[in-house]
Amino acid sequence: MKHARTPVFHPLRLLALAAALMFSTAHADEYADVSQLMRAGKLPEALSKADQYLAVKPKDPQMRFLKGVIQRDTGKASDAISTFTRLTEDYPELPEPYNNLAVLYAGQSQFDKARAALEMAIRTNPSYATAHENLGDVYAKLASQAYNKALQLDASNPAVAPKLALIRELFSPTGAKGQRPAAMPAAPAPSLASPVAAPVTTKAPPTLPGPVLSKAPVTAPAAPTVAPTPATPPAVVVAAAPAAAPTPTPAPTPASANNGVKEVEAAVRAWASAWAAKDVKGYLAAYGKEFDPPGSMKRSAWEEERRQRISSKSKISVKLENLTVTVNGNKGVAQFRQNYKASGLAVSSHKTLDLLKVGERWHIVKESTGS
């Protein structure tokens, strides 16, 4: 690995929070103006415009995120860390601020903090591929430090040098494939795929029974704003699309297949209704004992976290669109577009629920977000 003074993440890429947010057009120009100033390299002007906006709407997550990116790009790493930390406190369901924190911590060689931030991002959204890749690179850096320490303590150990060589080979941009380096200099620091300045491809983020945000290309940023919390009571609207033809093994009769589809649809509607009504007991009961909580969380810890997040919201709206269901014996898969609103945050994402029939009830055993 490279010495600690070498930057770890190069280049840092902007992770826009625009794509999955549902927004009104009232503030679209303000997001676009700040993004345009950033692309033009006019960072002081972009920061000034962002601060003017936040003076009126201090809780706006998108503009706060952009401000953190600007602070990082102007060399104000401590300010950026403070901005992203407050975002994680106000919007703990969003994985991207945790990922940005990890980038900033790693840039300061604070790899334990970077690891902790990435683990929180993954806990919030277990299918967040960027965070998984970054976590692997952070582990590689920590492994490099441990192997170097091992060599300092016992230079005669023949097993350590090849491991360091392997890490160097993995992260060297110039090393030839399949060739071990002849010397044993410190391996270069891993280059994490992360937010802050160059374009990224649009990809919906993964998992979480709650709101998540997506990446959007910086070259043509959407200009989002958070929609206000609706004044109407929580509601669930499910627009059921024609069920995909089931391909079970053994193949069920048409009648049993149709019954299974209807039962799964009913189970999904009940789950969404309980969530929107803040019926925590009914919401948690929708998950079977086979459900594996994200990360390494215990079931009890996951349930307590969900209970706190749902109960803390004044109002919740969950609307499901384009619901499709397939059934294979006692297993079902439901896919739909989920529109979530709560406490000033509005997020739209594609969700997949895997369900298992136990007795007469269908239970959720796996949950993922993204295409």
pLDDT digits (tens, 9 = 90+) for 273-299: 999 999 999 999 999 988 988 767 788
CATH 1.25.40.10, domain 1-200+207-225, yes or no: yes
The dotted CATH code for 238-369 is 3.10.450.50
Token duo for residue 12: 């840092």
Please give the backbone phi and psi of residue 287, each rounded to the nearest 5 degrees, phi first. Answer: -95, 130
Residue 311, number of CB atoms within 10 A of its CB: 9
> Distance from first CA to last CA of the chain, Å, rounded?
35
pLDDT in tens, the chain (371 residues): 333 333 334 333 334 443 334 344 445 678 888 988 998 999 999 999 999 999 999 988 889 999 999 999 999 999 999 999 999 998 888 889 999 999 999 999 999 999 999 999 998 888 888 889 899 999 988 888 888 888 889 888 888 888 888 877 776 655 434 443 333 334 344 444 444 333 332 233 333 233 333 333 333 333 333 444 444 344 333 333 444 444 455 555 455 667 889 999 999 999 999 999 999 999 999 999 889 887 677 888 888 888 888 888 888 999 999 999 999 999 999 999 998 888 767 777 888 999 999 988 999 999 887 64
Tell me the pLDDT tens digit for each residue of 178-190. Answer: 443 333 334 344 4
Q: Are 198 and 333 in contact (CB under 8 A)?
A: no
Helical pair 43-56 and 61-73, crossing angle rounded to 10 deg? 150
Structure tokens at 259: 């019954």
Tokens of 199: 């374009």
How far apart, in whole angstroms, are the C-alpha atoms of residue 61 and residue 87?
Answer: 7
Domain residues of the chain, as ranges? 1-200+207-225, 238-369
- pTM of the predicted structure, to 2 decimals: 0.49
CA distance 45 to 63: 14
